[in-house]
Chains A and B, each alone.
Chain A
Amino acid sequence: MIKRAFPSKYALPRSPIGPADTAILLAMFLLFYIVARVGAGFFVAFKPPVLQPKVSLDPANLPYYAIRSTLRMFIALIGSVAFTLVYGYIAAKSRRAESIMIPLLDILQSVPVLGFLSVTVTGFIALFPGSLLGLEMASLFAIFTGQVWNMTFSFYHSLITLPKELDEAATVFQFSKWRKFVSVEVPAAMIGLVWNGMMSFGGGWFFVAVTEAISVNNTSYTLPGIGSYVAKAIAEKNLKALGLAILTMIILIIAIDQLFWRPIVAWAEKFRMDKSTAATHATSWVLDLLRSSKLPRILGLWWRDIRRKLPTIDVRFPKKPNLRFGWKKKKSRINEDLIFGILIGTIVVGAITAGVHIVTSEVPAKEVGSAFGLGILTFLRVVGLLIFASAVWTPIGVAIGFNPRLSRIAQPIVLILASFPANFLFPAATIVFIKLNVGLNFGSMILMILGAQWYVLFNTIAGAMAVPNDLREMAANMQLRGWPLWRKLILPAIFPAWVTGAITASGGAWNASIVSEVVAWGDKNLTADGLGAYIAKATTAGDAPRIVLGVSFMCVFVVLTNRLFWRKLYALAETRYRLG
Chain B
Amino acid sequence: MTTITPIQPLLRIEGVSKVYPKPESGGSFTVLDDINLTVNPGEIVALLGRSGSGKSTLLRSIAGLSKPSKGVVYSNGIPVLGPNPDIAMVFQSFALLPWLTVIENVEIGLESKHLPQKEVKTRSVEALRLVGLEGFEKAYPRELSGGMQQRVGFARAFVVQPRVLMLDEPFSALDVLTAENLRGEIADLWEEGNFPAKSVVLVTHNIEEAIMLADRVVIMSSNPGRIRGEIRVNLNRPRERNSSAFRAMADHIYTIMTKPDTKITPVVQESTSLMDTTPLPHARPGAISGLLELVEEYGGPEDVAVISDRLRIEADDLLPILDAAVLLGFANVREGDVTLTEIGRTFADAEVDDARDIFRDQALKFAPMVRTMHEVLRASRGRPVHEDFFLDILDEHYSDEEARNQFETALNWGRYAGLFDYDSDEKTLQIPEE
Taken together as a complex, chains A and B put the C-alpha atoms of A480 and B82 apart, in Å, by 12
For A477, give its contact among B88, B97, B100 (CB under 8 Å). Answer: B88
| A488 touching B108, Cβ below 8 Å | yes
Taken together as a complex, chains A and B put the C-alpha atoms of A488 and B312 apart, in Å, by 73
Residues of B within 8 A of A484 (CB): 111-112
CB-CB under 8 A for A577 and B112, given A473-B60, A473-B65, A474-B91: no
Nearest-CB residue, chain A, relative to B162: A477
| A478 touching B111, Cβ below 8 Å | yes
Interface band, chain A: 20 to 34
CB-contacts of A439-496 with B (<8 A): 468, 470-471, 473-481, 484, 488-489, 492
Residues of B within 8 A of A366 (CB): none
Interface of B is mostly: loop
Q: Is A23 an interface residue (CB 8 A)?
A: no
| A577 touching B99, Cβ below 8 Å | yes
CB-CB under 8 A for A478 and B97, given A484-B111, A488-B108, A488-B111: no
Taken together as a complex, chains A and B put the C-alpha atoms of A474 and B84 apart, in Å, by 12
Nearest-CB residue, chain A, relative to B109: A478
| A473 touching B89, Cβ below 8 Å | yes
Nearest-CB residue, chain B, relative to A479: B112
Q: Is B229 an interface residue (CB 8 A)?
A: no
Residues of B within 8 A of A492 (CB): 97, 99
Nearest-CB residue, chain A, relative to B84: A477
Nearest-CB residue, chain A, relative to B142: A578
Q: Is B156 an interface residue (CB 8 A)?
A: yes
Nearest-CB residue, chain A, relative to B23: A405
Residues of A within 8 A of B63 (CB): 473, 477
Nearest-CB residue, chain A, relative to B108: A478
Residue count of chain B within 8 Å CB distance of chain A: 25
| B98 touching A577, Cβ below 8 Å | yes
CB-CB under 8 A for A488 and B91, given A477-B63, A478-B109, A480-B108: no
CB-CB under 8 A for A468 and B108, given A477-B87, A478-B160, A576-B99: no
Residues of B within 8 A of A488 (CB): 97, 100, 108, 111
| B83 touching A578, Cβ below 8 Å | no
Residues of A within 8 A of B65 (CB): 473, 476-477
CB-contacts of A555-580 with B (<8 A): 576-579
Within the complex, the shortest CB–CB distance from B108 to chain A, in Å, comes to 5
Residues of A within 8 A of B112 (CB): 478-481, 484
Q: Is B85 an interface residue (CB 8 A)?
A: yes
Q: Is B95 an interface residue (CB 8 A)?
A: yes
Nearest-CB residue, chain B, relative to A405: B23
| A576 touching B108, Cβ below 8 Å | no
| A477 touching B98, Cβ below 8 Å | no
| B95 touching A471, Cβ below 8 Å | yes
Residues of B within 8 A of A475 (CB): 108
Residues of A within 8 A of B89 (CB): 473-474, 477
Q: What are 6 of the A-B contact pairs (CB < 8 Å)?
A: A473-B63, A473-B65, A478-B109, A479-B112, A480-B112, A579-B98
Known: A473-B60, A477-B87, A488-B100. 6 other contacts (CB 8 A): A477-B63, A477-B89, A480-B112, A484-B112, A492-B97, A576-B140
- The 10 residue pairs across chains A and B that have the minimum distance between CB atoms: A479-B112, A474-B95, A470-B95, A476-B83, A492-B99, A477-B89, A470-B93, A473-B65, A470-B91, A484-B111
